Amino acid sequence: MAMVSSLSYDTMTSIEGEVISFTLVNSSNDDINLKFPGEPITTLKARTQTKINLPKGAKVFFFQKKKKYLLMTVKNENAGKSIIVEKLIKTRKEAFGI
């Protein structure tokens, strides 16, 4: 069973003031480092789910060989969804040609 943790930036507001709640899932056997707005690098532990509350328009980044790349921009479509991070990273790496 995957561990569930919570990461919340409820004090942050977007231009619209709307906070989007969703879950990031790391179903891989490796930890994944992500960068959230206004926070130090956060590690999503292997085999975990993390509940996220971020303002609409917030940008989340991943790292490849110490270089930062855009993983996603928070949108209304993310609300209530579970996003499998390693699959999204694979898609983004292909888009960036890395």
pTM exceeds 0.85, yes or no: no
- In this prediction, the residues of the chain whose per-residue pLDDT falls under 70 are 1-16
84: β partners = 25
- What's the Cα-to-Cα distance from 86 to each of 26, 28, 48, 83, 98, rounded to whole Å? 6, 7, 12, 9, 14
DSSP H helical segments within the chain, as ranges?
85-96
| Category of 94 on φ-ψ map: left (φ > 0), alpha (ψ -120 to 50) or beta | alpha
Average pLDDT, the chain: 87
**What domains lie within the chain, and their CATH numbers?**
3-96 (2.60.40)
What pLDDT shows up at residue 41?
Answer: 93
What pLDDT shows up at residue 5?
Answer: 53
